[in-house]
Structure 1
Amino acid sequence: MTAVAGKVVVVTGGRRGLGAALVDEVLARGARKVYATARTAYADDRPEVVTVPLEVRSEESVAALADLAGDAGIVFNNAGTLLPAPLLTGDLARVDETLDVNVLGPLRIARAFAPVLAANGGGALVNMHSVLSWLAGSGAYGVSKAAAWSLTNSLRLELAPQDTHVVGVHAGFIDTDMVAAVDRPKAKPADVAARILDGLEAGHTEVLADDVSAAVKSALSGPVERLTIPAAG
């Protein structure tokens, strides 16, 4: 189990959406300090929050964050991008960007913070996936999230010897700017953040943050043809 109270936390992509909800939730649960990142500098008037510009595609930027946040005990790999380009006809540069941000970005964070977490007792690494890790039909984004799921499962094994608790989070559509144009039912960021923190503090290795994710996970043993995004409406 990983208690949040009194801990120093890093939340990448913490300026808005689920990231902002995670910052709020860890503070509500007694986090001592939160490093919240975004691609560009921004302000937060809460004294416990340290805002940091971060580009997850840059090893130098990630290394600078790890140097600054050397007291971190919990890291949320939340920063991501949604570029749902078709695999056959989409701009290959956008596919490359999606994979770089959503797969290599979390890996860069994990590599940079592994020694930090080890030095501070092990702590926890929480990676955000998606129900689209398991469902076909979202192009490069789904590919990136499936890879992120595999990444998390392997990091769990590699970080176990240093007692770092690795958690993978799956969620459906969340009511954020990223999916504002998607016409589907969406969960509230605050509700998803609360489920994630409940799972982390309970010692879970995987959090199914909404009913959609739970239903799809239960269907994984069925025919692969059924694992597609249902039609809207």
Structure 2
Amino acid sequence: MKIKDAVVFVTGANRGLGLEFAKQALERGAWKVYAGARDPASVTLPGVVPVKLDVTDPASVAAVADAARDVTLLINNAGIARVGSLTDDGALDALRDHFETNVVGMLAMSQALAGSLASNGGGAILNVLSVGSWVNRPILSAYGVSKSAAWALTNGLRQSLREQHTQVVGLHAGFIDTELVRGFEVPKATPADVVRQAYEAIEAGAEEVSTDEVTRNVKAALSTGIYLKDAAQR
């Protein structure tokens, strides 16, 4: 599908990667851009339609589905990432929190808008995933588990929605220069470059896109496990 003249809904659109998704959608000629955020007043980008949204609240998701029946592209960007190992105190609660937003919230939005996508020709869903879908390290363990599940969810949605001609795209990336990882002293991609590649993948009809060399190398090594073993030991 083309971004030009699309009706785009971006979750978590008030800052970081979500804000960049909304911005570039407008620049690419989207007809309308819904910007979902828990506090719609925090959405300050001119030209978008601010929408109150908490992906973990069923009533909020249902209200969005009713308000955005013209949507043709859903960007499931909303997510959380908290530092911690699976052996830390509180790891169970952290895992539940990550799953509620990063997995259950993603499915809730996809289910809620799937009917509208079908009515509007099929459209597309893009799920923001991570290199953490494939490599899990103690610093972000619960996040990694949730992104692994979100990858499986993305693959499942692709099969479930294929008959209605909805393109489902998984976006994998390493560290991106947003508030989510502000305290990490590591190489980071720019949100602008990640979003550019994401929209190019959608327009090319792709089902998956890896936006940096590390992520592409990890994906390529899945069949051998060599890179994954090395990364897990670092």
TM range (shorter): over 0.9
Return the offset for 1:89. 2.1
Structure (1 or 2) with the greater helix fraction: 2
- Matches for 1:167-178 after TM superposition, within 5 Å: 167-178=169-180
- Aligned amino acid, residue 229 of structure 2: R
Return the offset for 1:192. 0.4
- Specify the alignment match of 1:3 in structure 2: 2
**Runs (5+) with no aligned partner, structure 2:** none
Return the offset for 1:88. 2.1
C-alpha distance in 1, partners of 2:225/2:148? 18
- Specify the alignment match of 2:136 in structure 1: 136
- Matches for 1:71-150 after TM superposition, within 5 Å: 71-91=70-90, 92-137=92-137, 138-150=140-152
- Matches for 1:181-192 after TM superposition, within 5 Å: 181-192=183-194
- Specify the alignment match of 1:27 in structure 2: 26
Return the offset for 1:229. 5.1
Return the offset for 1:44. 2.8
SS in 2 for 1:34: strand
- Specify the alignment match of 1:226 in structure 2: 229
SS in 1 for 2:54: coil
- Aligned amino acid, residue 95 of structure 1: L
Asked if 1 retains the 8 angstrom alpha-carbon contact of 2:23 and 2:45, the reply is: no
- Specify the alignment match of 1:158 in structure 2: 160
TM-score by length of 1: 0.94
Return the offset for 1:26. 1.0
User: What's the % identity of the aligned pairs?
Assistant: 45
Asked if 2 retains the 8 angstrom alpha-carbon contact of 1:11 and 1:36, the reply is: yes
- Specify the alignment match of 1:52 in structure 2: 51
- Specify the alignment match of 2:210 in structure 1: 208
- Aligned amino acid, residue 83 of structure 1: R
TM-score by length of 2: 0.94
**Which moves more between the two structures, 74-83 or 222-231?**
222-231
SS in 1 for 2:85: coil
C-alpha distance in 2, partners of 1:24/1:171? 19
Asked if 2 retains the 8 angstrom alpha-carbon contact of 1:55 and 1:61, the reply is: yes
CA RMSD of aligned residues (A): 1.4
User: RCO higher in 1 or 2 (8 Å CA, sep ≥ 6)?
Assistant: 1
What is the aligned residue count? 229
- Residue 227 and residue 22 in structure 1: after superposition, are their counterparts in 2 closer, same or farther (change >3 A)? farther
C-alpha distance in 1, partners of 2:89/2:132? 18
- Aligned amino acid, residue 114 of structure 1: A
**Runs (5+) with no aligned partner, structure 1:** none
- Residue 227 and residue 5 in structure 1: after superposition, are their counterparts in 2 closer, same or farther (change >3 A)? farther
C-alpha distance in 2, partners of 1:211/1:16? 25
Return the offset for 1:212. 1.7
Return the offset for 1:223. 2.8
- Specify the alignment match of 2:69 in structure 1: 70
C-alpha distance in 1, partners of 2:230/2:180? 23
SS in 2 for 1:51: strand
SS in 2 for 1:167: strand
